Amino acid sequence: MIGLVRAELRKLTATTLWWWMLLGSLALTGLFVSLSIAFSGSTGDLTPPLSTVAGQRDVLATASSPTALVGILGVVAMTAEFRHLTATPTFLATPRRGRVVAAKLITYTVVGFGFGLACLVLAIAIALPWLSAKAITVSLSAPGLSLTALGVLVVVTIYGPLGVGIGALVRNQVAAVVGLLVYLFVLDRVLTAIPALQPVTRYLPGPAGDALTGGTLPNFPLLPAWAGGLLLAGYALVLAALGARFTLRRDVT
């Protein structure tokens, strides 16, 4: 399995996609952290003030904004095998296809963690000097804040294997990427906006991720952070297992 994971890392680093995705992730994080600090307290802003731990958590939680990009990276890892027909040499080298999916799940957990860590560090590097310039002292060890930091790491990490799971189930690259984006940016938001559905929609991947970062969704019954994390990881594993069981067993012609 170590060899398989190394092979997956080599596939990732053989092209420049990961580099652009990392750059994009850092840019998104930088943008959202800056916006959330810059516009905090302006008229109409409902988020808690930056001087409170709750306000600082909201700033830090924006470091999880690259989840979609990490998800895409995971999707591409799986679907590129079919798009570029490398599924043939891949399955020749590893005839038990479930092992290929397992290797990708592990690899993209590692990759997701790396992305999460990079974004978190960037967010802190921007927020701390900026807030101290506003004469706000931030204690990273404050219980709520360290939990959010951990939550950011976990949620960005899990989107890696989640993408792999989606890619395993939907072999078509364009369909899988578009599906992921439409879900995250349209479906998830529309569904969670309907109050009557909230007892159900709290179990969707979007709110499960929000539960982890402790970001503020006003009047939304988020799950406890640990439950959100488990649920999100569960989505990744179930999608991957379904993909391995059904989609990936199809003939490679």
156: Cα separation from own chain's centroid: 3
How far, in Å, are 4, 15, 40, 69, 71 from residue 18 at the CA level?
19, 7, 32, 10, 12
Q: State yes or no: residue 94 binds other proteins (CB under 8 A).
A: yes
Question: Do 198 and 220 meet the contact criterion of CB atoms below 8 Å apart?
Answer: yes
CB of 251 to other proteins, least distance (A): 4
Phi-psi region of 135 (alpha: psi -120 to 50; beta: other; left: phi over 0): left
**141 or 253: whose CB is closer to other proteins?**
253
User: Does residue number 34 form part of the binding site for other proteins (CB under 8 A)?
Assistant: no
Check residue 249 for interaction with other proteins (CB under 8 A).
yes
Least distance (Å) between residue 108 CB and other proteins? 16
* Residue 174 binds other proteins, judged by CB under 8 A: no
- What percent of the residues of the chain are helix, what percent strand, and what percent coil, each to the nearest 5? 75, 0, 25
- Choice from 88, 132, 139, 172 touching other proteins (CB under 8 A): 88
Exactly one of 93, 187, 200, 238 binds other proteins (CB under 8 A); which one? 93
Whichever of 14 and 196 has its CB closer to other proteins, that residue is: 14
Nearer to other proteins, 18 or 235 (CB): 18
Q: Which of residues 62-81 bind other proteins (CB under 8 A)?
A: 80
Amino acid at 55: G
Among 211, 138, 169, smallest CA distance to 75 is for: 169
| Angle separating helix axes 67-83 and 97-133, nearest 10 degrees | 150
- Per CB under 8 A, residues contacting other proteins are 3-4, 6-7, 10-11, 14-17, 80, 84-89, 91-96, 249, 251-253
